């Protein structure tokens, strides 16, 4: 059976609908940086997602393409994630989406090296006939965070964030969003096929003891 990050790392990918504190381990990701409204049809964000999945599935199928990765095992491609920020805004302003800066990512299994990643970017570009040069091998150390499952449309996320903030206040933590530690979302449903009221999104914020 293929390794599934959502099932094997439930504490990171499947929180309940109440805030919880987690210590997120360092991990490697396929990453594409950009800016602008993620809802723009054919815009930079949608193009970035195409690149991420092209590289992710090339790595997943590498053994069938003749590229041997030491320590490789069958796995399910992890869910799409995103780190979001806006200049001079603490947290996220959902009204002004054109001001978004983002890093879209998909987690990599630990056995994928920078050399394997470079092979996948080149191979995906040739196979898909698309420019994958924006993809980067990125190591992220999130550390201490609070997270919670948000169910519903993205624009309703402030309601969930408010619950998380109250939890921090009651438990002697404080939000630590800054230029290096960012608002983080993990998308467990496909927005193209799921009605907004059924979206499931993990919201994760960096924190520190007050």
Global pTM exceeds 0.85: yes
Residue 90 has pLDDT above 80, yes or no: no
**Minimum mean pLDDT among 26-30, 101-105, 190-194: which range?**
190-194
The tokens for 51 are 């690149």
- pLDDT tens string 156-205: 999 999 999 999 999 999 999 999 999 999 999 999 899 999 999 999 99
Closest residue by Cα to residue 197 from 153, 137, 166? 153
State mean pLDDT over 85-94: 84
Closest residue by Cα to residue 110 from 159, 148, 59, 45? 59
> What DSSP designation does 15 have?
-
The tokens for 162 are 């408010």
- pLDDT grade for 57, boundaries at 50, 70 and 90: very high
Q: Are 16 and 68 in contact (CB under 8 A)?
A: no
Residue 100 has pLDDT above 80, yes or no: yes
Q: How far apart are CA 118 and CA 195, in angstroms?
A: 36
pLDDT number for residue 1: 84
Mean pLDDT, the chain, rounded, equals: 96
State mean pLDDT over 74-92: 92
Q: Can you spell out the DSSP letters for 121-178?
A: HHHHHHHHTS--TT-EEEEE--EEEEEEEEES-GGGHHHHHHHHHHHHHHTTEEE---
pLDDT number for residue 190: 93
Q: How far apart are CA 29 and CA 59, in angstroms?
A: 12
State mean pLDDT over 83-89: 92
- Cα→Cα distances 199→30, 114, 194, Å: 23, 33, 7
pLDDT number for residue 89: 82
């Amino acid at each position: 059976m293929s390794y599934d990050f959502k099932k094997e790392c439930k504490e990171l990918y499947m929180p309940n609908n109440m805030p919880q504190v987690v210590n997120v381990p360092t991990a490697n990701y396929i990453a594409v940086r950009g800016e602008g409204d993620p809802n723009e049809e054919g815009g930079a964000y949608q193009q970035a997602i195409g690149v991420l999945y092209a590289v992710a599935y090339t790595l997943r199928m590498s053994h069938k393409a003749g590229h041997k990765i030491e320590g490789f095992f069958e796995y399910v491609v992890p869910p799409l994630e995103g780190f979001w920020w806006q200049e001079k805004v603490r947290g996220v302003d959902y009204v002004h989406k054109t001001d978004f800066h983002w890093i879209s990512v998909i987690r990599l299994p630990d056995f994928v090296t920078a050399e394997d990643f470079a092979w996948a970017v080149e191979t995906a570009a040739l196979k898909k006939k698309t420019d994958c040069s924006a993809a980067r091998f990125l190591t992220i150390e999130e550390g201490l965070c609070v997270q919670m499952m948000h169910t519903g449309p993205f624009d309703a996320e402030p309601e969930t964030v408010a619950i998380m903030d109250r939890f921090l206040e009651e438990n002697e933590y404080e939000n630590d969003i800054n230029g290096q530690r960012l608002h983080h979302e993990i998308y467990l449903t496909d927005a193209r096929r799921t009605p907004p009221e059924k979206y499931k999104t993990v919201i994760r914020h960096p924190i520190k003891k007050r």
